[in-house]
Amino acid sequence: DYTPTPADKFTFGLWTVGNVGRDPFGEPTRQPMSAPYIAQKLAALGAYGINLHDNDLVPIGASAAERDRLVSDFRAALSGHGLVVPMATTNLFSDPAFKDGAFTSADARVRAYALQKTMLSMDLGHELGATTYVFWGGREGTEVDASGKLLDALAWFRDSLNFLAEYSQSQGYGYRFALEPKPNEPRGDIFFPTAGSMLGFIPTLDQPDLFGVNPEFAHDTMAGLNFAHAVAQIIDAGKLFHIDLNDQKMGRFDQDLRFGAENIKTAFMLVKLLENSGYAGPKQFDAHALRTEDEAGVWAFARGCMRTYLILKEKARQFDEDSEIQAALQAYRVQDSELETLSRGFTPEKAQALKARSVDRAMLGARGPGLEQLDQLTIELLLGVR
Ligand code: GLT
Ligand code: MN
Ligand code: MN
Protein backbone atom coordinates (compact mmCIF):
# COMPACT_ATOMS: atom_id res chain seq x y z
CA ASP A 1 0.00 0.00 0.00
CA TYR A 2 3.01 2.26 -0.62
CA THR A 3 3.65 2.93 3.07
CA PRO A 4 7.40 3.28 3.57
CA THR A 5 9.42 1.45 6.20
CA PRO A 6 13.02 2.10 7.31
CA ALA A 7 14.08 -0.75 4.99
CA ASP A 8 13.28 1.57 2.07
CA LYS A 9 16.10 3.84 3.32
CA PHE A 10 14.31 7.13 2.76
CA THR A 11 15.94 10.12 4.41
CA PHE A 12 15.25 13.83 4.71
CA GLY A 13 17.52 16.71 5.59
CA LEU A 14 16.60 18.62 8.74
CA TRP A 15 16.59 21.63 6.44
CA THR A 16 13.98 20.10 4.11
CA VAL A 17 10.92 19.46 6.25
CA GLY A 18 12.30 22.20 8.50
CA ASN A 19 12.14 24.77 5.68
CA VAL A 20 10.14 27.76 6.94
CA GLY A 21 9.12 29.04 3.52
CA ARG A 22 11.41 32.04 3.21
CA ASP A 23 12.25 33.13 -0.33
CA PRO A 24 14.15 36.07 -1.84
CA PHE A 25 10.93 38.08 -1.95
CA GLY A 26 9.14 37.03 1.19
CA GLU A 27 9.33 36.28 4.89
CA PRO A 28 8.88 32.81 6.40
CA THR A 29 5.36 31.43 6.27
CA ARG A 30 5.90 28.62 8.83
CA GLN A 31 7.25 28.29 12.35
CA PRO A 32 10.58 26.55 12.90
CA MET A 33 10.33 23.00 14.29
CA SER A 34 12.86 21.48 16.70
CA ALA A 35 15.08 18.64 15.54
CA PRO A 36 13.64 16.14 18.06
CA TYR A 37 10.11 16.99 16.90
CA ILE A 38 11.12 16.47 13.26
CA ALA A 39 12.63 13.10 14.20
CA GLN A 40 9.39 12.05 15.88
CA LYS A 41 7.27 13.04 12.88
CA LEU A 42 9.55 11.50 10.23
CA ALA A 43 9.80 8.25 12.15
CA ALA A 44 6.01 8.06 12.31
CA LEU A 45 5.92 8.45 8.52
CA GLY A 46 8.33 5.53 8.00
CA ALA A 47 11.58 7.33 7.19
CA TYR A 48 14.96 5.69 7.78
CA GLY A 49 17.04 8.67 8.76
CA ILE A 50 17.77 12.37 8.96
CA ASN A 51 20.71 14.30 7.49
CA LEU A 52 21.92 17.67 8.60
CA HIS A 53 24.18 20.65 8.21
CA ASP A 54 26.02 21.66 11.36
CA ASN A 55 23.83 24.76 11.73
CA ASP A 56 20.54 22.94 11.13
CA LEU A 57 21.06 21.60 14.66
CA VAL A 58 23.54 23.93 16.33
CA PRO A 59 23.20 27.65 15.56
CA ILE A 60 26.42 29.29 14.40
CA GLY A 61 28.18 30.80 17.40
CA ALA A 62 26.37 28.62 19.97
CA SER A 63 28.18 28.02 23.27
CA ALA A 64 29.69 24.60 23.96
CA ALA A 65 27.02 23.92 26.58
CA GLU A 66 24.24 24.88 24.17
CA ARG A 67 25.76 22.63 21.48
CA ASP A 68 25.98 19.65 23.82
CA ARG A 69 22.39 20.09 24.99
CA LEU A 70 21.06 20.28 21.39
CA VAL A 71 23.12 17.27 20.31
CA SER A 72 22.10 15.10 23.23
CA ASP A 73 18.39 15.98 22.83
CA PHE A 74 18.60 15.10 19.14
CA ARG A 75 20.45 11.87 19.80
CA ALA A 76 17.85 10.85 22.34
CA ALA A 77 15.08 11.53 19.82
CA LEU A 78 16.90 9.59 17.09
CA SER A 79 17.45 6.51 19.18
CA GLY A 80 14.00 6.78 20.75
CA HIS A 81 12.41 6.71 17.31
CA GLY A 82 14.85 4.31 15.66
CA LEU A 83 16.28 6.80 13.15
CA VAL A 84 19.88 7.12 11.95
CA VAL A 85 21.98 9.99 10.58
CA PRO A 86 23.64 8.55 7.47
CA MET A 87 24.95 11.84 6.09
CA ALA A 88 26.23 15.14 7.39
CA THR A 89 27.39 18.31 5.71
CA THR A 90 28.51 21.86 6.42
CA ASN A 91 26.65 25.10 6.00
CA LEU A 92 29.24 27.07 4.04
CA PHE A 93 26.71 29.35 2.39
CA SER A 94 24.46 31.23 4.88
CA ASP A 95 26.94 33.29 6.82
CA PRO A 96 28.05 36.57 5.18
CA ALA A 97 31.68 35.47 5.69
CA PHE A 98 31.06 33.04 2.83
CA LYS A 99 29.44 35.52 0.48
CA ASP A 100 32.23 35.15 -2.11
CA GLY A 101 32.92 31.47 -1.55
CA ALA A 102 34.24 29.21 1.20
CA PHE A 103 36.99 26.86 -0.02
CA THR A 104 37.25 29.00 -3.17
CA SER A 105 37.20 32.42 -1.54
CA ALA A 106 39.99 34.70 -2.72
CA ASP A 107 40.52 35.56 0.97
CA ALA A 108 42.85 33.05 2.64
CA ARG A 109 41.24 33.83 6.02
CA VAL A 110 37.84 32.72 4.71
CA ARG A 111 39.33 29.55 3.25
CA ALA A 112 40.92 28.73 6.61
CA TYR A 113 37.63 29.42 8.42
CA ALA A 114 35.83 27.12 5.98
CA LEU A 115 38.27 24.32 6.84
CA GLN A 116 37.88 24.94 10.56
CA LYS A 117 34.08 24.99 10.34
CA THR A 118 34.03 21.82 8.25
CA MET A 119 36.30 19.90 10.64
CA LEU A 120 34.04 20.83 13.57
CA SER A 121 31.02 19.79 11.52
CA MET A 122 32.70 16.49 10.64
CA ASP A 123 33.21 15.94 14.37
CA LEU A 124 29.49 16.54 14.91
CA GLY A 125 28.48 14.26 12.03
CA HIS A 126 30.66 11.46 13.39
CA GLU A 127 29.19 11.89 16.87
CA LEU A 128 25.76 11.31 15.30
CA GLY A 129 26.93 8.26 13.35
CA ALA A 130 27.24 9.72 9.84
CA THR A 131 29.44 7.85 7.38
CA THR A 132 28.83 9.98 4.28
CA TYR A 133 29.91 13.59 4.15
CA VAL A 134 28.48 15.88 1.46
CA PHE A 135 30.05 18.92 -0.10
CA TRP A 136 27.58 21.19 -1.85
CA GLY A 137 29.48 24.29 -2.89
CA GLY A 138 26.58 26.68 -2.90
CA ARG A 139 28.70 29.82 -2.71
CA GLU A 140 31.67 28.37 -4.60
CA GLY A 141 31.30 30.36 -7.79
CA THR A 142 31.36 33.80 -9.31
CA GLU A 143 29.45 36.63 -10.83
CA VAL A 144 32.59 38.51 -11.84
CA ASP A 145 35.10 36.41 -13.76
CA ALA A 146 37.38 39.43 -14.09
CA SER A 147 38.38 38.40 -10.55
CA GLY A 148 40.70 36.04 -12.39
CA LYS A 149 40.41 33.10 -10.03
CA LEU A 150 38.98 30.36 -12.24
CA LEU A 151 42.05 28.12 -12.11
CA ASP A 152 43.00 29.12 -8.56
CA ALA A 153 39.53 28.25 -7.31
CA LEU A 154 39.85 24.71 -8.61
CA ALA A 155 43.23 24.32 -6.91
CA TRP A 156 41.97 25.78 -3.61
CA PHE A 157 38.98 23.45 -3.68
CA ARG A 158 41.26 20.46 -4.36
CA ASP A 159 43.63 21.43 -1.52
CA SER A 160 40.71 21.73 0.90
CA LEU A 161 39.25 18.33 0.00
CA ASN A 162 42.66 16.68 0.28
CA PHE A 163 43.13 18.26 3.71
CA LEU A 164 39.69 17.18 4.94
CA ALA A 165 40.06 13.62 3.67
CA GLU A 166 43.23 13.32 5.73
CA TYR A 167 41.53 14.89 8.71
CA SER A 168 38.80 12.24 8.51
CA GLN A 169 41.41 9.49 8.41
CA SER A 170 43.55 10.92 11.19
CA GLN A 171 40.44 11.04 13.41
CA GLY A 172 39.38 7.53 12.37
CA TYR A 173 36.03 8.82 11.08
CA GLY A 174 36.07 6.75 7.89
CA TYR A 175 33.89 9.16 5.93
CA ARG A 176 33.17 8.72 2.25
CA PHE A 177 32.74 12.11 0.61
CA ALA A 178 30.03 12.97 -1.91
CA LEU A 179 30.41 16.06 -4.09
CA GLU A 180 27.15 17.71 -5.17
CA PRO A 181 27.08 19.64 -8.45
CA LYS A 182 24.75 22.53 -9.24
CA PRO A 183 24.96 24.91 -12.20
CA ASN A 184 23.86 28.17 -10.55
CA GLU A 185 21.96 29.72 -7.63
CA PRO A 186 22.86 31.22 -5.29
CA ARG A 187 25.91 32.18 -7.40
CA GLY A 188 25.58 33.30 -10.98
CA ASP A 189 27.91 30.47 -11.97
CA ILE A 190 28.80 27.72 -9.53
CA PHE A 191 32.09 25.81 -10.00
CA PHE A 192 31.66 22.16 -11.04
CA PRO A 193 28.19 22.68 -12.56
CA THR A 194 27.43 19.08 -13.57
CA ALA A 195 27.94 15.47 -12.57
CA GLY A 196 30.48 15.17 -15.37
CA SER A 197 32.48 18.06 -13.88
CA MET A 198 32.69 16.21 -10.58
CA LEU A 199 33.62 12.93 -12.25
CA GLY A 200 36.40 14.70 -14.09
CA PHE A 201 37.67 16.41 -10.93
CA ILE A 202 37.68 13.42 -8.57
CA PRO A 203 40.66 11.64 -10.19
CA THR A 204 42.74 14.79 -9.58
CA LEU A 205 42.39 14.39 -5.80
CA ASP A 206 45.03 12.69 -3.63
CA GLN A 207 42.64 9.92 -2.57
CA PRO A 208 40.05 9.61 -5.33
CA ASP A 209 38.59 6.40 -3.90
CA LEU A 210 37.20 8.34 -0.95
CA PHE A 211 35.23 10.68 -3.21
CA GLY A 212 32.02 10.19 -5.15
CA VAL A 213 29.05 12.22 -6.30
CA ASN A 214 25.78 13.32 -4.68
CA PRO A 215 23.66 14.22 -7.69
CA GLU A 216 20.38 16.12 -7.29
CA PHE A 217 17.39 15.77 -9.62
CA ALA A 218 16.58 19.49 -9.60
CA HIS A 219 20.11 20.66 -10.27
CA ASP A 220 20.43 18.88 -13.60
CA THR A 221 16.87 19.73 -14.51
CA MET A 222 17.44 23.47 -13.93
CA ALA A 223 20.09 23.29 -16.63
CA GLY A 224 17.88 21.37 -19.03
CA LEU A 225 19.83 18.15 -18.56
CA ASN A 226 18.38 14.66 -18.16
CA PHE A 227 18.96 13.52 -14.58
CA ALA A 228 18.64 9.81 -15.35
CA HIS A 229 21.48 10.15 -17.85
CA ALA A 230 23.67 11.87 -15.27
CA VAL A 231 22.99 9.20 -12.66
CA ALA A 232 23.72 6.44 -15.17
CA GLN A 233 27.13 7.95 -15.83
CA ILE A 234 27.82 8.23 -12.10
CA ILE A 235 26.80 4.60 -11.55
CA ASP A 236 28.99 3.54 -14.47
CA ALA A 237 31.93 5.28 -12.81
CA GLY A 238 31.20 3.53 -9.49
CA LYS A 239 30.67 6.93 -7.85
CA LEU A 240 27.06 7.02 -6.70
CA PHE A 241 27.78 7.65 -3.00
CA HIS A 242 24.47 9.40 -2.18
CA ILE A 243 21.49 10.88 -4.02
CA ASP A 244 19.17 13.88 -3.61
CA LEU A 245 15.67 13.38 -4.99
CA ASN A 246 13.21 16.17 -5.69
CA ASP A 247 11.71 17.83 -8.75
CA GLN A 248 11.94 21.02 -10.73
CA LYS A 249 10.71 22.77 -13.86
CA MET A 250 13.47 23.47 -16.34
CA GLY A 251 14.67 27.05 -16.56
CA ARG A 252 13.06 28.12 -13.25
CA PHE A 253 14.60 29.25 -9.99
CA ASP A 254 15.65 26.40 -7.66
CA GLN A 255 12.22 24.99 -6.76
CA ASP A 256 13.09 21.84 -4.76
CA LEU A 257 9.63 20.39 -5.45
CA ARG A 258 8.20 17.19 -4.00
CA PHE A 259 9.72 14.14 -5.74
CA GLY A 260 7.71 13.25 -8.84
CA ALA A 261 5.70 16.46 -8.76
CA GLU A 262 6.75 17.63 -12.20
CA ASN A 263 8.75 15.26 -14.45
CA ILE A 264 7.03 11.97 -13.81
CA LYS A 265 8.58 10.13 -16.76
CA THR A 266 12.17 11.03 -15.84
CA ALA A 267 11.37 10.22 -12.21
CA PHE A 268 10.17 6.79 -13.34
CA MET A 269 13.28 6.15 -15.45
CA LEU A 270 15.43 7.23 -12.51
CA VAL A 271 13.71 4.95 -9.99
CA LYS A 272 13.97 2.06 -12.45
CA LEU A 273 17.66 2.80 -12.96
CA LEU A 274 18.36 3.01 -9.22
CA GLU A 275 16.40 -0.12 -8.40
CA ASN A 276 17.97 -2.17 -11.18
CA SER A 277 21.47 -0.85 -10.41
CA GLY A 278 21.62 -2.35 -6.95
CA TYR A 279 22.25 1.05 -5.34
CA ALA A 280 21.86 0.32 -1.65
CA GLY A 281 22.54 3.71 -0.11
CA PRO A 282 20.02 6.11 1.37
CA LYS A 283 17.65 8.03 -0.89
CA GLN A 284 17.40 11.54 0.43
CA PHE A 285 14.51 13.82 -0.43
CA ASP A 286 16.21 17.20 -0.67
CA ALA A 287 13.12 19.26 -1.21
CA HIS A 288 10.62 21.26 0.79
CA ALA A 289 6.91 21.92 0.98
CA LEU A 290 5.60 24.81 -1.10
CA ARG A 291 5.71 28.19 0.62
CA THR A 292 1.93 28.21 0.55
CA GLU A 293 1.72 25.29 3.00
CA ASP A 294 1.21 25.02 6.74
CA GLU A 295 2.66 22.22 8.89
CA ALA A 296 0.09 19.72 7.65
CA GLY A 297 1.29 20.51 4.13
CA VAL A 298 4.86 19.75 5.19
CA TRP A 299 3.98 16.21 6.26
CA ALA A 300 1.80 15.73 3.17
CA PHE A 301 4.88 16.74 1.17
CA ALA A 302 7.14 14.28 3.01
CA ARG A 303 4.66 11.42 2.74
CA GLY A 304 4.14 12.24 -0.93
CA CYS A 305 7.86 12.03 -1.79
CA MET A 306 8.13 8.53 -0.32
CA ARG A 307 4.81 7.27 -1.70
CA THR A 308 5.63 8.43 -5.21
CA TYR A 309 9.00 6.67 -5.07
CA LEU A 310 7.34 3.43 -3.95
CA ILE A 311 4.62 3.73 -6.60
CA LEU A 312 7.26 4.24 -9.29
CA LYS A 313 9.24 1.31 -7.92
CA GLU A 314 6.12 -0.84 -8.30
CA LYS A 315 5.66 0.52 -11.85
CA ALA A 316 9.26 -0.40 -12.64
CA ARG A 317 8.58 -3.97 -11.55
CA GLN A 318 5.42 -4.00 -13.68
CA PHE A 319 7.44 -2.69 -16.64
CA ASP A 320 9.92 -5.53 -16.29
CA GLU A 321 7.11 -8.08 -16.13
CA ASP A 322 4.92 -6.71 -18.95
CA SER A 323 5.20 -9.15 -21.82
CA GLU A 324 4.23 -6.63 -24.51
CA ILE A 325 6.82 -4.15 -23.24
CA GLN A 326 9.46 -6.84 -22.99
CA ALA A 327 8.70 -7.97 -26.53
CA ALA A 328 9.08 -4.37 -27.76
CA LEU A 329 12.41 -4.11 -25.93
CA GLN A 330 13.62 -7.35 -27.46
CA ALA A 331 12.63 -6.22 -30.94
CA TYR A 332 14.47 -2.93 -30.35
CA ARG A 333 17.84 -4.65 -29.80
CA VAL A 334 19.08 -6.35 -32.94
CA GLN A 335 21.66 -9.01 -32.18
CA ASP A 336 24.19 -10.39 -34.62
CA SER A 337 26.67 -12.68 -32.93
CA GLU A 338 29.07 -12.81 -35.85
CA LEU A 339 29.29 -9.01 -36.11
CA GLU A 340 29.40 -8.57 -32.36
CA THR A 341 32.36 -10.93 -32.13
CA LEU A 342 34.10 -9.05 -34.90
CA SER A 343 33.42 -5.67 -33.26
CA ARG A 344 34.60 -6.52 -29.75
CA GLY A 345 38.25 -6.98 -28.74
CA PHE A 346 40.53 -5.61 -31.43
CA THR A 347 42.76 -7.87 -33.49
CA PRO A 348 44.27 -6.91 -36.87
CA GLU A 349 42.31 -9.80 -38.43
CA LYS A 350 39.00 -8.57 -37.04
CA ALA A 351 39.76 -5.08 -38.27
CA GLN A 352 40.50 -6.37 -41.76
CA ALA A 353 37.39 -8.53 -41.79
CA LEU A 354 35.20 -5.60 -40.69
CA LYS A 355 36.70 -3.28 -43.28
CA ALA A 356 35.96 -5.84 -45.98
CA ARG A 357 32.27 -6.31 -45.04
CA SER A 358 29.67 -4.90 -47.35
CA VAL A 359 26.93 -2.99 -45.51
CA ASP A 360 23.30 -2.67 -46.54
CA ARG A 361 22.89 0.97 -45.50
CA ALA A 362 19.47 1.30 -47.03
CA MET A 363 18.16 -1.63 -45.01
CA LEU A 364 19.68 -0.24 -41.78
CA GLY A 365 18.22 3.20 -42.42
CA ALA A 366 14.79 1.83 -43.28
CA ARG A 367 14.33 -0.16 -40.10
CA GLY A 368 11.75 1.18 -37.61
CA PRO A 369 12.89 0.42 -34.06
CA GLY A 370 9.39 0.65 -32.54
CA LEU A 371 10.14 3.41 -30.05
CA GLU A 372 6.78 5.19 -30.52
CA GLN A 373 5.00 2.03 -29.49
CA LEU A 374 7.39 1.40 -26.59
CA ASP A 375 6.98 4.93 -25.30
CA GLN A 376 3.19 4.79 -25.54
CA LEU A 377 3.19 1.52 -23.59
CA THR A 378 5.33 3.20 -20.94
CA ILE A 379 2.98 6.17 -20.72
CA GLU A 380 -0.05 3.90 -20.46
CA LEU A 381 1.65 1.95 -17.72
CA LEU A 382 2.39 5.19 -15.84
CA LEU A 383 -1.17 6.41 -16.37
CA GLY A 384 -2.43 3.21 -14.78
CA VAL A 385 -4.33 1.69 -17.68
CA ARG A 386 -2.07 -1.35 -18.13
C1 GLT B 1 20.80 23.23 0.15
C2 GLT B 1 21.00 22.83 -1.29
C3 GLT B 1 21.04 21.36 -1.46
C4 GLT B 1 22.20 20.71 -0.78
C5 GLT B 1 22.18 20.85 0.68
C6 GLT B 1 23.46 20.31 1.26
S7 GLT B 1 21.82 22.42 1.24
O8 GLT B 1 19.49 23.00 0.54
O9 GLT B 1 19.93 23.38 -2.06
O10 GLT B 1 21.00 20.99 -2.80
O11 GLT B 1 22.12 19.33 -1.03
O12 GLT B 1 24.36 21.30 1.56
MN1 MN C 1 20.88 18.74 -2.68
MN1 MN D 1 18.46 21.92 -4.55
Q: Which of 8, 23, 53, 54 is catalytic?
A: 53
Say if residues 190 and 183 touch (Cβ distance below 8 Å): yes
Between the CA of 304 and the centroid of ligand 3 the distance, in Å, is 18
pLDDT tens digits, 60-86:
999 999 999 999 999 999 999 999 999
pLDDT band, residue 18 (cuts 50/70/90): very high
In the prediction, which pLDDT does 306 show? 99
Band the pLDDT of 249: cuts 50, 70, 90. Answer: very high
Distances (CA, A) of 180 to 118, 201, 296, 357: 16, 12, 30, 47
Per-residue confidence (pLDDT) for residue 103, from 0 to 100? 98
Q: With beta carbons less than 8 A apart as the criterion, state whether 20 and 58 touch.
A: no
Mean pLDDT (the chain) is 98
Best mutation site among 92, 180, 213, 252 for ligand 1 pocket (most ligand atoms within 8 Å of CB):
180
- Report pLDDT for 343: 97
Distance 86 CA to ligand 2 centre (A): 15
Residue type, position 258, single letter: R
Is ligand 1 within 6 A of the CB of residue 134? yes
- By the CB criterion, residues less than 5 angstroms from ion ligand 3 are 218, 256
Q: Dump pLDDT digits (tens) for 266-317.
A: 999 999 999 999 999 999 999 999 999 999 999 999 999 999 999 999 999 9
**Catalytic annotation present for 286:** no
**What pLDDT is recorded for position 287?**
98
- Whether ligand 1 lies within 6 angstroms of the CB of 12 is answered as no
Give residue 37's pLDDT band: very low, low, confident or very high (50, 70, 90).
very high
Instruction: Decide: 177 in ligand 1 pocket, CB within 6 A.
Output: no
A 10 A CB-CB count for 107 gives: 11
Tell me the best of 12, 14, 15 to mutate to test the pocket of ligand 1, counting ligand atoms within 8 Å of each CB and taking the most. 15
The DSSP-derived string for 272-335 is: HHHHHHT--S-EEE-----TT--HHHHHHHHHHHHHHHHHHHHHHHHHHH-HHHHHHHHHHS--
121 contacts: CB under 8 Å, gap ≥ 6: 53, 54, 88, 89, 90, 91
* Segment 235-264 mean pLDDT: 98
pLDDT of residue 152: 98
Question: What b-and-e string marks burial along 114-150, b requiring 16 or more CB atoms within 10 Å of the CB?
Answer: bbebbbebbebbbebebbbbbbbbbbbbbeeeeeebe
What 3-state DSSP class applies to 88?
strand
What does the pLDDT look like over 337-347, one tens digit per residue? 999 999 999 99
For the entire predicted model, the pTM comes to 0.97
What is the band of 178 on the pLDDT scale with cuts at 50, 70, 90?
Answer: very high
Active-site residue flag, 53 = yes
Asked if residue 217 has its Cβ within 6 Å of ligand 1, the reply is no
Percent of the chain with pLDDT over 70: 100
Binned at pLDDT 50, 70 and 90, residue 348 comes out as: very high
Q: How confident is the model at residue 206 (pLDDT cuts 50, 70, 90)?
A: very high
Does residue 173 line the site of ligand 1, with CB under 6 A? no
Cα separation, 55 vs 101, in Å, equals: 17
Is 286 close to ligand 1, i.e. is its CB under 6 Å away? Answer: yes
Q: How far is the CA of 307 from the centre of ligand 3 (A)?
A: 20
pLDDT score, position 170: 98
What pLDDT score does 376 carry? 98
248 CB less than 6 Å from ligand 1? Answer: no
Predicted local confidence at residue 247, as pLDDT: 98
